[in-house]
Structures are given as structure tokens and as C-alpha cells.
Amino acid sequence: MGTTYHRRQFLHHAVFAVPSMIAMDAMAAQLYKDKGAGVNQDKKLGIALLGLGKYSEEQLAPALAETQHCKLTGIITGSPEKIKKWQQKYDIPEKNIYNYENFDSIKDNPDIDIVYVVVPNALHAQYTIMAANAGKHVICEKPMATSVADCQAMIAACKKAGKMLSIGYRLHFEPHHMAFMDFGKKKKFGKLNKITAVDSQEMEKGAWRLDRERSGGGPLMDLGIYCVQAAIYSAGTNPISVTAKEGEKTDLDRFQEVEQSIEFQLEFPNNVVANCQTSYADSGNLLRVDAEKGFYELQPAYAYDGIKGKTSQGDMGLKNVNQQALQMDDFARCILNKTQTRVPGDMGLRDVKILMAIYEAAKTGKKVNLDL
């Protein structure tokens, strides 16, 4: 699911004007030109949200009011007390409301094309596979799953069903991060020297994310995955090894089952290292790249809005957008146009392999080589 930064409603979701210092690559240009290119303008795919927690309520559902190629048509929830509110607010018919017991019957509902899985991490595999078996395309929130085997099973199930699988990596549709992807790919600031990625926040006692059985781990699974992702697209390639060290637990009551913090280093080809840090008992929201011809950084870097960027040449000057609306619209276009999503299950699998390697490195104190 999405990170639990302070959730503010988006006030402005304007597309951005690119300053002369940033040459837009084809990927970004495609996203922000005619977003309906090649798509039947009258066709909107129906999305059902599976899990009605804060991320669905405060981010995904409002974003679906802004989408061009998909719309909210159904809900799947284990909380009956939430149904009336959602039904009234989003005009959802009774026939498009499901619980976890009758979820399989969604296969007979033509109003729903996509199931967006937004439940605790350990349940991602189960419901992704069920949705695929019911003949629905799937968006699964990050992290994709809590094990490599589960990720592989999810990919296999969607492939067997002939359905598309996308991971909820919203920042791949955010202009600042897209610029970082372009910088990393084209080395616009010369050879990279160092990458720094920090994503930390306070996690309240009793949150499900502190329950290892449901979360699969602590801040690494929730926040650190953003650091992993950012380091990879900033470097423009996959890492080859990882070292890590778990931080001291200063609150043994809160962090009985998961790590309180963890630091890790991703090594990339050409001796480029990403120094990453994530914690549930601290604050930090930074992505920075130091290169031979200058630097570029985002701070805050991973929030739903309010991302700010600058380089050694000045402010990036990019506006904020509705990341989730763009993410879901892009997936709908991929389905309608029969094209590959830029955030496929294979990417989610790669990242879970890295997360597991980080935990192994922290446990053993040894460098873990990556075969990605």
C-alpha cells in the first residue's frame, strides 16, 4: 500500500511546464502530451478497489474522479460498516459490492475490468491470484509480496489467465522522478559519483505494519522500497550487490517484530554506490545524486504531493500532479492498446529479491551479490 505520509487532498494537479534545463525524454513526453492517444475516448475501464483503508479512501478513490480512461465501479471489503459511505459517495450499485467470501463471483461482473489490490502486504499474492483467476487485470500495491515465491506465483497466475499485472509504483508517473530517470539513463550530469536515498517517518504503535505476519517486515518493506526504486532509476541500471546493517532498537515495545531502522548500500556497476536509510522512528525524505558535473536532488522526494527538486543549475521548476490518477490511467491505456505497462510484475519481483537480499545482508553482516 502507499506510504503513510501526511495525506492532503490535492489542490492542483496541473501538468508541468518543463524548464529549458531539462530535455524531456520520449517517456515523459508521451505521458503529458495527448493522454488519450490511441485510446477509444468513450471507453472507461472499471476499477474495483480491494481493501478500503486510508490509501484507498484518501488517495485512490479521489484520484479515480480525475482519470480519463478508468473509473471506480466496485469495492471489495471485509468491513461492512464502510459500505454505505462508499456506496453513497461514489454511486456504487449493490451488484458491484463484494466481500472477501464472495469475491470469486466478480468474474461474472462486466462492470469491473481491473482489481486494485490494497490490502496488507502478506495478502497481496492471494488476492492478485484470485483476481486473475476471475478474469480481471490487476494493479497490486507495493511491495508486490512478502516473498520471491509469492511474486513468481502472481506473475504466473496473471500470465496463465492472459491478464495484465501492474505494481502501484506511482512515482514512475511523477515529473520530478521521471526527470531523474532521464538523468540516470542519459548521464546528463556526467558520471555518477554517489546516490543518497532516505525515507523515514514515525509509525504509530499498533499499526498493522508493525505486525511481521501481515507486513513481511518493517520500514524496509514500506518505505525502503522507495529508496531501492529511486536508486535504480537514478543509476539507470540494476545493482550488483548489497550490504546492510539494522539499526538499534530504542523502542522495544513498538518494534517487537520488525526492524526499527535499517541502513543499506546498493552497489552498481562502475563503482557507483547508493547509500540508503529508512526508519519508523525518525524523519527523512531525500533523493540526491552527486555526479561529476553537478548534483540533483528531491526533498521531499516520495510524498503524494509537494515534491520539490533542484539541481546544481537551479530549481527544477516542475509542478506536482495527481500521481495515482496518472498511474491508473496509464494502466488502462495499456490494457486498451494492448501495450506493456512500465511497472510490470517483473519489476515488483526484482525489487522483492533486493529487499530479501538486504535483510539477508543485515542478518549475516556480509555482502550479498545480486543476480537480477
CA proximity to 125, closest of 176, 183, 165, 91: 165
Contact residues for 277 (Cβ-Cβ < 8 A; gap 6+): 197, 198, 199, 200, 227, 261, 262, 263, 264, 284
- Let me know if residue 293 belongs to a domain: yes
Percent of the chain's residues with pLDDT above 90: 88
User: Which of 125, 145, 170 is the endpoint of a domain?
Assistant: 170
Contact residues for 334 (Cβ-Cβ < 8 A; gap 6+): 164, 166, 340, 341
What's the pLDDT score for residue 13? 31
Place of cell 497490486: 140
Q: Is residue 314 domain-shared with residue 189, that is, in the same domain?
A: yes
Choose between 9 and 296: higher pLDDT. 296
- Per-residue pLDDT reduced to its tens digit, 204-214: 999 999 999 99
Choose between 39 and 20: higher pLDDT. 39
Exposed, middle or buried, 188 (CB in 10 Å: 0-12/13-18/19+)? middle
- Let me know if residue 115 belongs to a domain: yes
| Dist CA 239 CA 265 (whole Å) | 10
Bridge partner list, 284: 200
Average pLDDT value for residue range 319-332 = 97
Q: Is residue 166 domain-shared with residue 223, that is, in the same domain?
A: no
- Let me know if residue 239 belongs to a domain: yes
Q: Is residue 185 domain-shared with residue 271, that is, in the same domain?
A: yes
- Let me know if residue 184 belongs to a domain: yes
Q: Is residue 186 domain-shared with residue 123, that is, in the same domain?
A: no
| Dist CA 360 CA 280 (whole Å) | 20
Q: Please check the confidence at residue 260 and state whether its pLDDT lies above 60.
A: yes
What's the pLDDT score for residue 43? 84
Q: Please check the confidence at residue 23 and state whether its pLDDT lies above 50.
A: no
Residues 90, 98, 226, 304: which is the catalytic one? 226
Bridge partner list, 208: none
Average pLDDT value for residue range 80-98 = 97
- Per-residue pLDDT reduced to its tens digit, 231-255: 999 999 999 999 999 999 999 999 9
| Residue 226 annotated to the active site | yes
Q: Is residue 103 domain-shared with residue 144, that is, in the same domain?
A: yes
Q: Please check the confidence at residue 352 and state whether its pLDDT lies above 90.
A: yes
CA proximity to 215, closest of 207, 224, 226: 207
What's the pLDDT score for residue 39? 58
| Residue 142 annotated to the active site | yes
Q: Is residue 161 domain-shared with residue 198, that is, in the same domain?
A: no
Q: Is residue 232 domain-shared with residue 215, that is, in the same domain?
A: yes
Taking all residues of the chain, what is their mean pLDDT, rounded to a whole number?
91
Contact residues for 371 (Cβ-Cβ < 8 A; gap 6+): none
Q: Is residue 266 domain-shared with residue 141, that is, in the same domain?
A: no
- Count up the domains in the chain and report the number: 2
- Let me know if residue 113 belongs to a domain: yes
Q: Please check the confidence at residue 337 and state whether its pLDDT lies above 70.
A: yes
Choose between 20 and 355: higher pLDDT. 355
Question: pTM of the prediction?
Answer: 0.91
CATH of the domain at 132: 3.40.50.720
User: Which of 109, 141, 170 is the endpoint of a domain?
Assistant: 170
Residues 44, 90, 127, 142: which is the catalytic one? 142
Q: Is residue 166 domain-shared with residue 199, that is, in the same domain?
A: no
136 with 73: CB under 8 angstroms?
no
- Let me know if residue 20 belongs to a domain: no
Bridge partner list, 261: 279
Choose between 38 and 194: higher pLDDT. 194
Q: Please check the confidence at residue 2 and state whether its pLDDT lies above 90.
A: no
Sign of CA dihedral 276, 281, 283, 285: positive
What's the pLDDT score for residue 41? 57
- Let me know if residue 98 belongs to a domain: yes
User: Which of 138, 170, 202 is the endpoint of a domain?
Assistant: 170
- Per-residue pLDDT reduced to its tens digit, 109-139: 999 999 999 999 999 999 999 999 999 999 9
Q: Is residue 199 domain-shared with residue 223, that is, in the same domain?
A: yes
Place of cell 547509500: 275
The kind and range of the H/E element at 347 are helix 345-364
Which residues span the domain enclosing 122? Answer: 34-170
Q: Is residue 160 domain-shared with residue 207, that is, in the same domain?
A: no
Q: Is residue 131 domain-shared with residue 221, that is, in the same domain?
A: no
